[in-house]
Chain A
Amino acid sequence: MSEAVKIKLSKKDLESDQDVRWCPGCGDYAILATVQRTLAQLGIKRENTVFISGIGCSSRFPYYMNTYGFHTIHGRAPAIASGLKVTRPDLDVWVITGDGDGLSIGGNHMIHALRRNMDLKIILFNNQIYGLTKGQYSPTSALGTRAPSTPTGSIDHPLNPISLALGAGATFVARAADTDAKLMGKILEQAYSHKGAVFIEMLQNCPVFNDGVWEAVKDDPANRQLILADGKPLLFAGGTKGIKLGAGLAPEIVDVKDGDTSQLLVHSERGSVVYANVLAQLTHPNFPVPMGILYRHDKPTYEQLAISQVQEAIEKQGPGDLNKLLYSGMVWEVGADGTRH
């Protein structure tokens, strides 16, 4: 909600009185801090802000926010958040989930919340592992991931969260790394002002069960990340390399000579879904990983449409009259003599 007068808040105002119980070194700490700092800077109303989560390490998040919070059941946060948002459009509803919670057990709710364009800000912490249950491979784990449940390597292909979000119809799709507070802050700010289904993939490190899974991407941002800037060509490696579209719409890495970017794709946040899907296919290690806002698009939200249907009904039929409702259809009177009149 954009407020005429911003409330002055500090990060501390958004910290609850609960001890944070994540493992030392967990990427969640950095995300929590950036969310608290950014929302404080945005001057949110704490009472109008709700964090809803499912089950998993990331889903403990609401306990640490000094806002309203609801820690629900495994995978169902988008459904619970949808019921809240559609009945209380005045609230800012954030959903915190993980790769197991949001893409495995809760995959169905995720796609439907996104396709409805519910005005929910969904942040998915992707660490490619089940942490809370001690290290099983997850739907985003790379093929061949060795975990307690896959001692000889996982044999299912990983899911691409960004492709899923785009395919489901999310209207704001972004990605950031847990340690990149600056980019994350920018994305959160934009996400906050977006009306519609937001999907942010956070590349998050689990130091206990999947340490360093994003290390290659995070430690070499110049070569392994593609920082997206609206209206700017897709450049990386200090501007020496770029992405162009080759035959069969296949993205290709090309060297940039003499600053000539004419053949490169130019980033447009409000570009086509086709373009956004091309970005989604840029994955490590073949390509630098796109970071920032990949796609955004404005369209009516579910709760707006639901509320306008109710308003229309009231305008057309008049406010509900319970007596009229009960006395609809075939109604008759039985007189004092006990027979029908």
Chain B
Amino acid sequence: METKNLDRVVIRFAGDSGDGMQLTGTEFAKAAAEAGNDISTFPDFPAEIRAPAGSLFGVSGFQLHFSSSEIYTPGDAPDVLVVMNPAALKTNLKDLVDGGTLIINTGAFIEANLKKAGYQSNPLEDGSLDKYKVHAVDISQLTTSALEGSELSTKEKGRSKNFFALGLVFWMYGREPDGEIRRIYQQFAKKPGFGEANVKVFKAGYHYGETAEVFQTVYKVPAATFTPGMYRNITGNEAIAMGLVVGAELAGKKLFYAGYPITPASTILHSLAKFKNFGAMTFQAEDEIAAIGAALGAAYGGSIAVTASSGPGIALKGEAIGLGVMTELPLVILNIQRGGPSTGLPTKTEQSDLSQALYGRNGEAPIPVLAAKSPGDTFYCAIEAVKIATRYMVPVMLLSDGYLANGSEPWALPNLAALPRFDVMHRTDPTGYFVYQRDERTLSRAWVIPGTPGLEHRIGGIEKDALTGNISYAPENHEKQTRVRAEKIERVAQDIGELDLAGADSGDVLIVGWGGTYGALRQAQQALATQGKKVSHAHLRWLSPLEPGLAKIIHKFKRVLVAELNMGQLRSIIRDKFLVDAAGLNKVQGQPFKVREVVAAVDKQVESVKSNVSGPQMQVVS
């Protein structure tokens, strides 16, 4: 048996949505992290919970990139593809690198399944897989054999086959099986029969690799080097939930979270519902509007109030966000974006709600908007959103997306003691109080909460007198208030950190991005810079107000390429604000950017600089 060292591997598990591919992927990711690799994951599953078995649309996939050096993305294309049935092969094969490794569960390649996947002939036999390293393994049969004598039903036994696949890849990559065995027992502690069966099948898969002599090589991906510290794996939605709890603590206040079930935001509610011992209260409302309504009510009462949704739900919340703008109450709104419009692609990622975040309300109703760049970054963004909302008395929208929400990465645990507090004070002094009297620096009004004697007052959605807060329809007053509400958002720039810039502050091409595309854009910039190209990457955290640092550099590049997973929403803003002829790299396929897609697009811009012609205006990914 030969052992080969690899720097990095991209592996994808694909099967029916009932095949347990998400679990297999997650467990293998844990093992990689446990072995000290840097990792990045990309779960990609259909909207249907249990789509009809064997169907093309029911295929669920989980991609894992693990490496001995720092990585930013789940990888462009899998080197290894594990498929549990013909439909999974059909939908995923095009992504596999030429010469890549294919592990196929032949047990599922029966005529009925081949037909469902639209195969005229069996790909195992017709030579169509010749350019790949194929390992044909009857996982279904081997799983059943491993469980011979078990009391589980045939159907229940069949469910264990993902653990066979897991065992097999554990062996292939020389992973220590003991930790996984412990985890399986823990996970199925309440159903010991299943725990026992899954361990048996996992071991069977592991030993199959060892003894079957079909795999001649064990691949090792050595541990990566990290900045010293404590680490854990984290998904975006886990991190955002923790960030909210920590944000409320740093504000010295109680957290209230109201939500309505929606993919891919629901898991934040699930996490926070378990954090009751932090005093956090969660409220599953009757609809999206009630969720933000309840949050606004809690904010009025003095809580750190949060609501979350995805695009369709945010659309429903629009009017209430406007009420928050008008009454100047602090509120955090999370939008875990997905493909749109309408129901769109509920389980796929997209960045197409930027315009909605910035403009999706009636009237002049600007709010601060920020976007997280990685799963772990959602933690810090959540804290920042709480800080800005309470400091400026305004609803703040934090954009994440399905890719960040479900994807995971090793995360350097923060030192809580080092996070600055921003304790919130409520005015209690009635002397000289006016409801819309403003702080000089932030232009925010005082957060006076019910229960405070002598400060009884009324607020509402009708335009307010700029000082007393009484209803006012006076023309000059409305203009004054409209302008001050806008100015307040601009002032948020005072509390924004440095621009996240990679590369020089001038050059040929500036890639501008925001949100979850960070990994692909940053890696592309590094690759191009290594080739000696004058390419920089500015990644925006704040979209409203637009990061002040961008204004200082954007005119110092010959080309500006705004890369985003939409039709050019940030690009329009950049052109509008800076009067630069920014080009766009746009992709709306429900999938993140691949690094090579970005590299190719930037290269074209670099070429256009060299040949002194104008660069392509709008680049799409085919």
Name A residues whose Cβ lies closer than 8 Å to a Cβ of B.
Answer: 16, 18, 45-48, 50, 52, 55, 62-63, 65-73, 76, 79-88, 90-91, 108-109, 111-112, 306, 309-310, 312-314, 316-320, 322-323, 325-340
Contact = CB atoms under 8 A, between A and B. Distances in A.
A316 B274 CA distance: 12
Interface stretch (B17-25, B120-128, B450-458, B594-602): B450-458
Nearest to A69: B458
Contacts of A340: 34-36, 223, 226
B295 A83 contact: yes
A50 B450 contact: yes
Nearest to A339: B223
Contacts of B223: 339-340
A70 B452 CA distance: 15
Contacts of A68: 450, 456-458
A87 B413 contact: no
Interface residues of B, number: 72
B239 to A, nearest CB: 10
Contacts of B319: 73
Contact of A73 (B231, B258, B323): B323
B249 interface: yes
B458 A71 contact: yes
Nearest to B295: A83
A83 B301 contact: yes
Interface stretch (B277-285, B349-357, B366-374, B509-517): B277-285
A84 B301 contact: yes
Contact of B290 (A82, A90, A334): A82
Interface of B: 30, 33-36, 223, 225-233, 242, 245-246, 249, 254, 256, 258, 275-281, 283, 285-287, 289-291, 293-303, 305, 319-320, 322-323, 327, 413-414, 416, 449-462, 470-471
A80 B301 CA distance: 10
Contacts of A312: 276
Given A83-B296, A309-B276, A330-B34, A325 B245 contact: yes
A79 to B, nearest CB: 3
Nearest to B305: A83
A315 to B, nearest CB: 9
Contact of B416 (A52, A322, A337): A322
Nearest to A55: B461
Given A46-B456, A314-B277, A338 B227 contact: yes
A322 B320 contact: no
Contacts of B305: 83
Contacts of A72: 293, 296, 323, 460-461
B127 to A, nearest CB: 43
A313 B461 contact: no
B421 to A, nearest CB: 12
A196 to B, nearest CB: 18
Contact of B249 (A50, A317, A322, A328): A322
A47 B452 contact: yes
Contacts of B296: 72, 80, 83
| A-B pairs, 7 with minimum CB distance | A71-B460, A83-B297, A79-B293, A83-B294, A320-B278, A340-B36, A338-B225
Contacts of B276: 309-310, 312-314
A109 B292 CA distance: 12
B98 to A, nearest CB: 33
Contacts of A86: 256, 281, 283, 294, 298
8 contacts: A70-B327, A70-B460, A72-B461, A79-B285, A87-B298, A320-B277, A325-B242, A334-B36
Contacts of A335: 228
B232 A332 contact: yes
A284 B290 CA distance: 34
A18 B230 CA distance: 59
Contacts of A339: 36, 223, 225-226
A299 B278 CA distance: 27
A48 B413 contact: no
Given A319-B278, A327-B232, 13 more contacts: A47-B451, A68-B457, A69-B457, A72-B293, A76-B289, A82-B297, A83-B305, A84-B297, A87-B302, A320-B280, A331-B230, A340-B35, A340-B36
A83 B458 contact: no
Nearest to B458: A69
Contacts of B461: 55, 71-73
Nearest to A105: B289
Contacts of B454: 47
Contacts of B231: 331-334
B460 A327 contact: no
Contacts of A81: 297
Contacts of A91: 301, 450-451
B301 A109 contact: no
Contacts of B34: 330, 332, 340
A244 to B, nearest CB: 39
A306 B281 contact: yes
B81 to A, nearest CB: 26
A317 B274 CA distance: 11
Contacts of B455: 47
A336 B225 CA distance: 10
Contacts of A85: 297
A30 to B, nearest CB: 21
Nearest to B285: A79
Contacts of A320: 245, 275, 277-280
A55 B320 CA distance: 13
A154 B450 CA distance: 43
A306 to B, nearest CB: 6
A91 B452 CA distance: 11
Contact of B413 (A80, A309, A331): A331
Name the residue among A79, A317, A322, A337 with the largest chain B CB count within 10 angstroms.
A79
A207 B544 CA distance: 48
Contacts of B232: 326-332
A325 B228 contact: no
Q: Which of B258, B275, B301, B322 counts the most chain A CB atoms within 10 A?
A: B301
A325 B278 contact: yes
B470 A18 contact: yes
Contacts of A109: 286, 289-290, 293
B338 to A, nearest CB: 24
Contacts of A79: 285-286, 289-291, 293-294, 297
A87 B281 contact: yes
A335 B295 CA distance: 43
Nearest to B323: A73
B382 to A, nearest CB: 13
A63 B451 contact: no
B216 to A, nearest CB: 29
Contacts of A66: 456
Contacts of A325: 242, 245, 275, 278
Contacts of B462: 71
A81 B290 CA distance: 10
